Amino acid sequence: MKTLRDIQIVTHCVSDLELEISTWSGLLDYRLCERGTLSEELCAVWGTAAEAGRDYALMAPASGAPVYMRFVATGERPGYWPPVTWGWNATEILVTDPDALAERLEGSAIRRFGGPADLYAQPKAPRAVQSLGPSGAMLYFTRILPGGSRYGLHGAKSFVDRVFNVVLGGPSLEELRVFYAEQMGLRVGEPLQFTMTLAAQACEAPPDTLFPICVAPLRARHSILELDEYPENSSPRPRAAQQLPGGMSMVSFRTGALDNVAVPLRAPAAAIAGLPYDGRRVAVAEGPAGEWLELIETPD
């Protein structure tokens, strides 16, 4: 069974919620959909009782796509730069014009550290800007031209659109491949060797380090999951009991019946009110690199 169907929410722990809201709305044209405090019911599903009552904001792209960014005000918390740690490490977002966006970002709270540049030397290659968000989140802004994606992905429908890729890193690519193929039901691609200068910098590794990676498509032509193997000097992400992991802490996916999920859950599933759950049942699983996957039960 294909457990993971599509990305619905990417959750980041942030040090300054107001700065995140103003930056994403002012620079990236995201709209504020909901803000409030985390409920005890939701935190019970997550297994994070210590987070109940924390302020959060839920934001969505100008395109109207139902793929959300959720920012939780946790204050300073160990994240992933530098060096990167195991778990979710980068949020990749569709844009129409990375060069124009790079100009817009100059002098802002989003700090560009790579690009704009084509990702590989081919006609219609994706073109991207790599940056750090106000609280240190790794954000990639990528243009995909018609016919320019190896996975048939469609491009942006607004200047800055939705998340289409989330990047996961761990100590063993094979362990990640087995988990997402056998437990999550994805069609995981064969490993490839890539030189990724920025990732090497984040891992405090030599710039010519070869990273084994592979890609697992989620919904056809809509989104993908990238799995990366990190060098030996990488380490687990620090995490306190009953708290969210720092940085890019969790990715939420639509899924089928939670009763059919083949992996242990952090806590029993429960129906959660409010956007974007709308009364659907929710549970959280933990992957082999310590990554958290929020599973939102969505009937066919």
How many domains, in total, are found in the chain?
1
CA angle 288, 279, 158 (to 5 degrees): 75
Which runs of E-coded beta strand occur in the chain? 6-14, 31-37, 55-60, 68-73, 87-95, 111-118, 127-132, 138-143, 160-170, 192-195, 210-217, 224-229, 248-255, 270-271, 281-286, 292-297
CATH number of 29's domain: 3.10.180.10
Tell whether 212 is covered by a domain.
Answer: yes
Query: Domain range spanning residue 142?
Result: 6-297
pLDDT tens profile 5-52: 999 999 999 999 999 999 999 999 999 999 999 999 999 999 999 999
Tell whether 1 is covered by a domain.
Answer: no
For the chain, percent of residues with pLDDT exceeding 70: 99
Tell whether 16 is covered by a domain.
Answer: yes
- Within 10 angstroms of residue 197's Cβ, the number of other Cβ atoms is 12
Tell whether 286 is covered by a domain.
Answer: yes
Least confident of 61-70, 143-152, 180-189: 143-152
Tell whether 163 is covered by a domain.
Answer: yes
pLDDT category of residue 79 using cuts at 50, 70 and 90: confident
Higher pLDDT, 242 or 207: 242
Tell whether 60 is covered by a domain.
Answer: yes
Tell whether 61 is covered by a domain.
Answer: yes
Give CA–CA dist 62/271, Å, rounded.
Answer: 28
| Residue (of 248, 209, 249) closest to 230 by Cα position | 209
pLDDT category of residue 116 using cuts at 50, 70 and 90: very high
